[in-house]
Structure 1
Amino acid sequence: MKKVLIANRGEIALRILRAARELGIKTVVVHSEADAESLPVLLADEAICIGPPSPAQSYLNIPNILSAAIVSGADAIHPGYGFLAENAAFAEMVADHGITFIGPTPENMKLLGDKATARKIAREAGVPVVPGTDELESVEEAKEAAREIGYPVILKASAGGGGRGMRVVHTEEELERAVLQTQEEARAAFGNPAVYIEKYIEEPKHVEVQVIGDGKRVLHLFERDCSIQRRHQKLLEEAPSLLADEVREGLLKSAVRLAEHVGYVSAGTLEFLVDREGNYYFIEMNTRIQVEHPVTEMVTGLDLIRMQFLIADGEPLRLRQVEVELKGHAIEVRINAEDPDKGFRPAIGRIETLHWPGGPGVRVDSHLYTGYKVPPHYDSLLGKLIVWDTSRDRAIQRMR
């Protein structure tokens, strides 16, 4: 692998660029007109504009991205997270053009990227799932399922993510309208109106397991607790969780068993809900690198993006599970361009002054610089502040 095209923007594009540079791989960043002065564009070896600010015309524009890869001579594409990262058709097209896709295989995405299908696979692998349905065919089927499962239930888009396409329903009177609204939201956000129902578990812990695989072996890199959320979107993540040791052990083994069941390749995250009694249930898998991957890097000392590059280049996993050590405690908070006085609506504008914290055990992943103008067209995430220390109490103190 000699040259990688980074099909993303913002802090994850910068993170991938850094990993590529450390491996001696040349970088090509594709960008929209709105991101022409962004830090990844300024630091990459090459930059190619692929369209107007709208994501549909730029970062989701598969023909333009593939054309940029061909014209620039890139022999690999890293999709980052979001946009096309979990698009199996895109991964197949990349491979059809003789270009390496740095991420899971299209087959992995088809089996685990769709939430309803992933539930079936989890049951096959003997991994507990939240009581629920496969994709719903009708509102009547939804009503029948909800009566059997018991209210409250939660409607979810099969292709959903990022907190979108989810709706909690407490009574049958609400259900029909909720199904139609969720289908429409799913159609608009993901191009797929399919939805399914799960039992809504009240006040659970939301715990996810980081895995990495090479198609033959899968390792877990321990878990992260991401229970602090707003509108189903994560705001703070920490590792390790506060689960009892026996619950953690079962959770980690289940995650590896499910990923191995499909011959998983590259980095991925399996998400679970853990109830008050310590029962855990698989809910979905993110077949990509996660926003919160630095938390895992801080407690394991491993570079997940680097590992993605090496696996995509044909290298098998060198580590054994017993060699993956958990050290200390890490916490990540997300820094978003939002206005709390206006319901946390996205905010835009120029960065007039910027001063990041530093010191031992402090990491900042961000594409900001003084003078940078935050565009209105994309996600509000501006950066991530991650701290590490030898214990949770000390990590909390450092974050403060």
Structure 2
Amino acid sequence: VFLERYIEQGRHIEVQIIADSHGNTLHLFERECSTQRRHQKIIEETPSPLLDAATRAAICAAAVDAARAVNYRNAGTVEFIVTPAREFYFLEMNTRLQVEHPITELVTGVDLVQLQFRVAAGEPLPFQQADLHQTGHAIECRIYAEDARNDFLPATGTVHTFIPPSMPGVRVDAGLQSGDAVTIYYDPMVAKIITHGRTRQDAIQRMKQALRETIILGTTTNIDFLLAILDDPAFQAGEVHTAYVDHHLHDLLPEMPPLPPMALIAAALGEASSNASVTLEGDSDADRYSPWSHADHFRLGR
């Protein structure tokens, strides 16, 4: 029988590490990934709003010790589950760069991808642990092609327009451009928006503005859902745990307001203009509103 402690309202916190072939193993601080839905990360940030200086030092030291214990060489991530009282327990080690590595790059100023190549080429790390510092706060939001109001069903289709935000303090990592097709064959994540600010609140406000300026037409995305999370009081206070989003979906997905009459009128006009009637041959006085005058899929009987 294998037993492990059940941690209620646990926080998912991971530590970025890098180790070369010259005996140097360093950490680049932590990332908090507690904002999840069905154990899938949605929003990540650094520094963690939960950790104090002492816990940060301890959890980062534990990650470095774990890498050294297995003679690790590469960039990697050591993941922990953390209690509300800041007790932390080892989860796993990912021997690669994570999706959320850009937030570490923004607060440390280190290009992790380049560093990984240099380590693989046998070069020593170009700095010591004392040279690394966290500056400001960074947040990443994952944009998924999915319908949050339809049980997060993956959304497919052609992206007619993709216009990413362009503003200071915002980074966009995307494998998407206008005209691309979102298919059923791959992960629904289409872009990552990363913001950096002097404080956590600065980074949140910048993220909200960046998401509102992101235009993706042709497929449904979770942008509105991300905005709802960013506005949630628990997220604002830095109190979100790994089960929070699943337990508060009703609050994060309020009922859609009814469409205003003008929107219905505009939709009707659009339908009328796109489905132009066809005049019956030899009868210029045919009723343009008759179903017999439309070249569509109207059928009578079977």
TM-score (norm 2): 0.67
- Offset of residue 375 of structure 1: 1.9
Structure of greater relative contact order (alpha carbons < 8 Å, 6+ residues apart) = 2
- Offset of residue 339 of structure 1: 1.4
Q: Please state which structure has a larger fraction of its residues in helix.
A: 1
SS at match of 2:66: helix
Q: Which position in structure 2 is the counterpart of 1:157?
A: none
Match of 2:87 among 265, 279, 292: 279
Alignment of 1:372 onto 2:180: yes
Stretches of structure 2 that go unaligned for 5 or more consecutive residues are 209-302
Q: Which position in structure 2 is the counterpart of 1:383?
A: 191
Measured against aligned partners, the alpha-carbon deviations of 1:308-359 in whole angstroms (never above 9, x if no partner) come to 1111111111110011121000000000111123211211110111111121
| Partner AA of 2:127 in structure 1 | L
Alignment of 1:199 onto 2:27: no
- Offset of residue 263 of structure 1: 1.6
Alignment of 1:313 onto 2:115: no
Alignment of 1:226 onto 2:33: yes
Q: C-alpha distance in 1, partners of 2:165/2:93?
A: 33
| Partner AA of 1:202 in structure 2 | E
SS at match of 1:370: coil
Over aligned residue pairs, what C-alpha RMSD do you find? 1.1
Match of 2:46 among 239, 250, 271: 239
Q: C-alpha distance in 1, partners of 2:148/2:168?
A: 31
Measured against aligned partners, the alpha-carbon deviations of 1:237-262 in whole angstroms (never above 9, x if no partner) come to 00011211111111011111111111
Pairing of 1:232-381 with structure 2 (within 5 A): 232-242=39-49, 243-381=51-189
Alignment of 1:208 onto 2:14: yes
- Which runs of at least 4 in structure 1 moved beyond 3 Å after TM superposition? none
Measured against aligned partners, the alpha-carbon deviations of 1:120-150 in whole angstroms (never above 9, x if no partner) come to xxxxxxxxxxxxxxxxxxxxx3xxx4xxx4x
| Partner AA of 2:75 in structure 1 | A
Q: C-alpha distance in 2, partners of 1:270/1:379?
A: 23
Measured against aligned partners, the alpha-carbon deviations of 1:275-322 in whole angstroms (never above 9, x if no partner) come to 122211111111111000001001011111101111111111111001
Measured against aligned partners, the alpha-carbon deviations of 1:351-398 in whole angstroms (never above 9, x if no partner) come to 111111121110000011000111211111111000001111111111
TM-score (norm 1): 0.50
| Partner AA of 1:304 in structure 2 | L
Measured against aligned partners, the alpha-carbon deviations of 1:182-218 in whole angstroms (never above 9, x if no partner) come to xxxxxxxxxxxxxxxx332110111100001113211
- Offset of residue 219 of structure 1: 0.8
What percentage of residue pairs aligned between the two structures are identical?
50
Q: C-alpha distance in 1, partners of 2:197/2:141?
A: 15
Q: C-alpha distance in 2, partners of 1:341/1:206?
A: 26
